[in-house]
Amino acid sequence: MQVTMTVNGAEVTRDVEPRLLLVHFLRDTLGLTGTHWGCDTSNCGTCVVLVDGVPVKSCTALAAMTSGHEVRTVEGLADGAALDPVQQGFMEEHGLQCGFCTPGMMLTARALLDRNPDPDEAEIREAISGQICRCTGYATIVRAVRWAAAHPATEEVRA
């Protein structure tokens, strides 16, 4: 079957098998390997991408389900050389160690900040509760999201 979607701002059309998972479409068909593939059961959250701005675990979504929608991966966070505040926050506050959960965490954080630009710690922890990080203990991730909230991107920074 043919699917057409917007991925990181660019429209893509490909022929795929109806059973192809979104994570495999992104990684294997489009070469966007920033989306990690972890548990294959929707438990770990490493595969989170944004579909129409909503965090979705791409290991349990079919590529066909996202046809006609907008998909954003971790590769779509930066604007050229300008990092998204979430990316910068993860650097500033050491919000990663091994980095495996980081892309999904960043996209979940971006979705949270898009709907709530000033979340408190409890709101951040609730937003990332569907994702597992085995390295950080989450404290640095929470600080990274708070940093991003305190340093929103401006048009001048993005230009």
Domain spans, the chain? 2-76, 85-151
As a CATH number, domain 2-76 is 3.10.20.30
Strands of the 70-72 sheet, one edge to the other: 10-15, 2-7, 70-72, 48-51, 54-57
Task: Indicate if 85-151 has the same CATH topology as 2-76.
Answer: no
- pLDDT at site 95: 92
Please state, in angstroms and rounded to a whole number, the distance separating the CA atoms of residues 138 and 128: 9
pLDDT one-digit tens code per residue, 76-111: 999 999 999 999 999 999 998 888 999 999 999 999
For residue 46, pLDDT beyond 70: yes
Residue 155 has pLDDT above 80, yes or no: no
| Predicted local confidence at residue 125, as pLDDT | 97
| Domain 85-151, CATH among 3.40.50.620, 1.10.150.120, 3.40.50.2300, 3.30.1360.120 | 1.10.150.120
